[in-house]
Amino acid sequence: MMDAALFRTKHQLWLRIAFMSFSVSDPWVKNRLYEFSQIEFRHLKWIAVSLYENHSAYDYERDSRFEIESESFFALVRTTINEIKSLHLLYGDSPLSERMAHDEHYILSTLNAYLEKLTLDEPLSAFNRSRHWPDALLNSAETDALTLFLFEELYKEYELIMVYFYRQIRAETAAEVTHFQDLIDESHFHLRSFGEMMAKMGILALPRVLHPLTYEIADMEKFLRSGIIEEENAKEECRKLSSSIRDEKLSSFFEFINYQESYHIEIMKKLLGEH
């Protein structure tokens, strides 16, 4: 049977592989690692479903020593390999355990193949705190605004993924499941976008751990109304940042995110109408 320890370890593995994908520069490796992180997130959902169906508690805590920073790509790969091998000790003999193990045998073979390609062993700049945006010349005020925005939005998108994920497991209708999946998928895209931008600036960091009160929601209607207000605030932050940064490509990107947030509000209004 699945347990809370397995959920926590799998949660950390999803974050590790996702953030490793944000940190590496090789586009093929980056995309493949991100695809692996999405596989791990599906595993996490299946574990959560099993735990919920068996009335077993779980949370979003992380081990106090869990961190994703390193100066080299190969160091991250080796850490990930060891973490997956340790994770397999927690698997049982259920069909889900077999599926996860088979997926990770392939992931392990891919990671080991990376270690044989010495050209991939590059120093990582994702964690060097340079706060330099390489694609345009930003002044100090623009750099400060972008830095603050990215830290706040990375946390917000992680929070939304995990809150929507928690509610999706407990959804009462097929429509709710679909709406929450749309919101989760959108937030994954935003998390990846902001994570890769943070890596470019050397400020990539894990979002802070969520308190259970964030996702253990007793009043769904209140949560949705608050969520709509939060999305409105996010739209305003995107608008302010877009107007404060003179680089056309960055401004265009934040306008793009802004319009996506608008439709998130419409999805949440649909959810609200079902309560």
Query: pLDDT tens, 153-173?
Result: 999 999 999 999 999 999 989
Instruction: Output the average pLDDT for the chain.
Output: 92
**pLDDT of 238 over the 90 cut:** no
Say yes or no to pLDDT of 15 above 70.
Answer: yes
Closest CA to 268 of 236, 218, 223, 213: 223
Residue 2 reports pLDDT greater than 80: no
Which of 41, 27, 35 lies closest to 100 in space, CA to CA? 41
pLDDT of residue 172: 87
Going by C-beta distance under 8 Å and a sequence separation of 6 or more, which residues neighbour residue 225?
A: 272
When pLDDT is cut at 50, 70 and 90, the band that residue 146 belongs to is very high
Please tell me what DSSP assigns to residue 216. Answer: -
Note whether 1-124 and 126-275 share their fold.
Answer: yes
Among the four given CATH numbers 1.25.40.10, 3.40.718.10, 3.20.20.370, 1.20.1260.10, the one describing domain 126-275: 1.20.1260.10
132-147 average pLDDT score: 93
Predicted model pTM: 0.94
pLDDT of residue 275: 63
Tens-place pLDDT, residues 100-122: 999 999 999 999 999 999 999 98
Which residues are within 8 A (CB) of 133 and not within 5 positions of it... i.e. 6 or more apart? 143, 146, 200, 201, 250
Give the pLDDT of residue 247: 87
1 has a pLDDT exceeding 70? no
Spell out the domain ranges in the chain. Answer: 1-124, 126-275
Contact 74, 121 (CB under 8 A): yes
The three-point CA angle 164-242-163 to 5° equals 10
Rounded distance, CA 136 to CA 153, Å?
21
Q: What's the topology of domain 1-124? A: Ferritin (1.20.1260)
